[in-house]
Structure 1
């Protein structure tokens, strides 16, 4: 009896010690909010002392992600930040593509257009740095193939800007080929063992490439991070436990739907570990017990902001960018019948306005325009060099690489050696093309919408099988009247609805 009593006392003691051990308790939402608030307050004190120049790019991004309004009276008005962006633009290092990628994220966070910063199109510059093999070059002038981080951050920046990744298949293949045997990644291609920071960043880039969690490169990278977690729940880079590594891992985990509080080892989770680097002043130290560190504070605030929202910054910035793009289209109000579908395509980089402020949804779509949209939807690149396959499409015409690729894929055809690039496309022609797409790419799903009736007598014999195919899949009827009219010319809005439905039967 006495032994049982002693055992009970011992268990009670263990429970009390464990319950009051600061590392044993999972970080609560309240603690995360408090930590983020202290970091924001610390950065604001720096801003008050040095104004805009005191807030570096990553800190600025973290502030916006944490819910701070920039520009604002608190942080400086828009004119000040626009001037600051122009100043920072001039300081970008042409030897570092990563500088340009980071700057794009900064511009997005401020709600500005990265395609027009002081007259400079930063999106175009990033895209121009991509090589034929899909790799984004180390330098912005297209030179260098050794830096993995240049590739990774270019992918992240373009995705966050609401762009479709150019040469996505090649870009993915290049990145996957650089995964190390241990499942990790290093900053350069000569690395032999994976590093925490680069592996976490690459996982975010995998998300930007549209990869799935079931894919082996994703599984291997997550497994690498799981195995590398230290005994106190944190991470180390170069043998040094640090805040930045823990923060970067948190953002990567959230990008893949992993809950950081479930990534525990020893006394706590990766989130608990990160909070242990915060100083009394609200900043974060690089190493535990160290002094305030600008990079550590910025990276920690990014992670804390992601934890507060329950999602990765990548998605937040893409949605913010997409909303800005749609809002500036004056002729696409939310009440428009195809608003949801067109807004989706604009936000995700599949479609853009005919001008910077006009969508012209009721305009007739030409065969060349339809081909261009189709390739973008499919992630196919135009031919690099036109051959002059069609008599009415000059090899030097902008449409030539597009229509020739669509023809080479067997999706669009000409007749009598002519493509008729500037003529309109009818609903039955569109149905025929889409049916070919579904067969070629093996898309077998049915769209979850109402079906429509079709008057078979109005459909041309050559289009009947395709129209019936799309009718079965409930892909027809994407018009203002919700009817299918075989010989009617297709508008931009109607093409957008069809493409939207296509994307949802993949």
Structure 2
């Protein structure tokens, strides 16, 4: 009691309290750091700049891997669509594709298929993405077959899904069908109703009986254009599908088909949520701390995607992965949606970036040449090794790599 009234003891208590508070604050900071570390290790957050870097690398790699873009579901339209929607594609590359496609169209006299009308849808989307008119390509109207509603759906639900996407890609007016066609004529309303009518009770869609993540995500992409429209049945259908996709997500953030985790299923879901501008960290699509983006990037390595984890380069996986990353990037940067192609090819954004890199590369090349000249003079006067530092060597290597990356522009 005396010590408490002494004054000196009271100061001691205050000091002790201060020390205790400092220790407590440090402990809380340590605990917070532990929580943050757990979150990062569970699912790394990926910046817009990093996504841009991935896309640029893939764009360059694809034009190196696929020298001759052709008509076809692999090394053809999807490759072109991805490149055009990101914007990193040369006019020469586009010309090669158009030339190869025209040869095929003429050889088939405009009849790409009598059974799979997604062939027409895919080509219409590709031509639209490169600012070409699919209603008069080499004298052929490749949109016209999509007016034949019965034929569009011969192959299953994906017929209507991609016909709807193709028609919406540039808000095309559906032409009159061939005069010899006697079936039902396509309308946007019929396509929407057909898709919704074929939705399974669990919220998914399928080509057979059991709902599949891929086809469900594709249906969501097609219906996304009308999600906020006057037809409330669209929103109801899409919301039901999103619940299905949320339930099907794996702990790594990815998706499976027939029990096998794969790139393509994951890519389609990323395209679906990007079409609706759903935040990548929306709790419905985060499992065990992993987003759909985390799940997709598990299949990525050096500008390429594999079908399954740790697999080799797969053409289809790379094309779908590229399209998905581009769709996400466009959503992130508030650009037109992946299939909303009224904006055409975004050459300007990429051209500016390439120009800046070229200037940087040119500047570094000039510096490197100066260093080399100085080194040669120094070598003549001395018997010692080159005076070029390790840093200069790294710089020279970087210049070579940068120059290589510019070749596709």
Measured against the shorter chain, the TM-score band is 0.5 to 0.7
Q: Please identify runs of 4+ aligned residues in structure 1 that moved more than 6 A.
A: 4-10
Rg larger in 1 or in 2? 2
Work out whether residues 69 and 80 of structure 2, in 8 Å CA contact, stay in contact via their aligned partners in 1. Answer: no
2:255 equivalent among 230, 235, 242:
235
Please name the residue that 1:198 is paired with: 215
Question: Which position in structure 2 is the counterpart of 1:186?
Answer: 206
**2:284 is aligned with 1:269:** no
What SS class does the counterpart of residue 43 from structure 1 fall into? helix
The residue that corresponds to 1:431 in the other structure is none
Moved more, 210-219 or 196-205: 210-219
1:320 to 335, 344, 357: 344
Structure 1 residues 10 and 106: CA distance shift in structure 2, 3 A: same
Looking at structure 2, the residues matched to 208 and 19 of structure 1 have their Cα atoms a distance apart, in angstroms, of 34
TM-score (structure 2 length as normaliser): 0.66
- The alignment status of 1:158 with 2:179, answered yes or no, reads no
Q: How does 1:368-407 map to 2 (within 5 A)?
A: none
Counterparts of 1:306-455 in structure 2, within 5 Å, are: 306-310=327-331, 312-315=337-340, 317-320=341-344
Q: Deviation of residue 111 (structure 1)?
A: 1.4
Give the count of matched residue pairs: 297
The answer as to whether partners of 1:168 and 1:209 remain within 8 angstroms in 2 is: no
What's the counterpart of residue 415 of structure 1? none
Q: CA deviation at 1:314?
A: 1.4
* The one of 24, 35, 44 aligned to 2:63: 44
Relative contact order higher in (CA < 8 Å, ≥ 6 apart): 2
Task: Establish whether residue 303 from structure 1 lines up as the match of residue 318 from structure 2.
Answer: no
Matched, 1:172 2:192: yes
- Whole-angstrom CA distance in 2 between matches of 1:94 and 1:83: 23
Q: Which whole-Å CA distance do the structure 2 matches of 1:63 and 1:16 have between them?
A: 36
The verdict on how the C-alpha distance between 1:82 and 1:45 changes in structure 2, with shifts beyond 3 A counting, is closer
Give structure 2 stretches of 5+ with no counterpart.
1-19, 175-185, 346-409
The one-character-per-residue Cα deviations of 1:73-108 (angstroms, maximum 9, x if unpaired) are xx35x3x44322212434633321111111111111
For the 8 Å contact 1:244–1:299, the answer to whether it is kept is: yes
Distance (Å, rounded) in 2 between the aligned partners of 1:67 and 1:120 = 27
> Do the aligned partners of 1:107 and 1:114 also contact (CA within 8 Å) in 2?
yes
In structure 2, the CA distance between the partners of 1:197 and 1:5, relative to structure 1 (3 Å rule), is same
* Separation in structure 2 between the aligned mates of residue 230 and residue 167 of structure 1, nearest angstrom: 37
Q: What are the residue-to-residue correspondences of 1:19-34 with 2, within 5 Å?
A: 21=41, 23-34=42-53
Quote the offset at 1:156 in angstroms: 0.7
The answer to whether the Cα contact below 8 Å between 1:200 and 1:252 also exists between their aligned partners in 2 is: yes
Partner of 1:349: none
CA contact (8 A) 2:51 2:329 kept: yes
Q: CA deviation at 1:10?
A: 7.9
Change beyond 3 A, Cα 1:9–1:186: same
Hey, what does 2:101 align to over in structure 1? 85
For the 8 Å contact 1:27–1:261, the answer to whether it is kept is no
1:246 corresponding residue in structure 2:
266
Distance of 2:35 and 2:226 partners within structure 1: 46
2:134, 2:56 → 1: CA distance? 29
Give the Cα–Cα distance (whole angstroms) in 1 for the partners of residues 290 and 171 of structure 2.
Answer: 36
Q: What does the per-residue CA deviation read over 1:185-239, in whole Å, with 9 as the maximum and x for residues that have no partner? A: 012xx42x31111011101111345664963111101111111111111111111
What SS does structure 2 have at the residue aligned with 1:122?
Answer: coil
2:129 to 109, 131, 148: 109
Matches of 2:127 and 2:267 in 1, distance apart?
22
Structure 1 vs Structure 2 CA RMSD:
2.8
What secondary structure is seen at the aligned counterpart in 2 of 1:236? strand
Q: Within the alignment, does 1:137 sit opposite 2:158 as a pair? A: no
**SS in structure 2 opposite 1:248?**
helix
TM-score of the two chains, using structure 1 as the length reference: 0.54
Structure 1: give runs of 5+ residues left out of the alignment. Answer: 139-143, 322-506
CA distance in 1 between partners of 2:37 and 2:78 (Å): 39
How far residue 154 of structure 1 moved from its aligned partner, in angstroms, is 0.9
- Contact 1:185 1:195 (8 Å CA) reproduced: yes
2:165 touches 2:222 (CA, 8 Å); kept in 1? yes
Matches of 2:90 and 2:281, distance apart in 1: 30
SS at match of 1:241: strand
Q: Does 1:294 align with 2:310?
A: no
For the residues of structure 1 that align with 2:316 and 2:145, how far apart are their CA atoms?
Answer: 26
d(CA) in 2 for partners of 1:126 and 1:237? 29
Q: Which residue of 2 aligns with 1:60?
A: 80
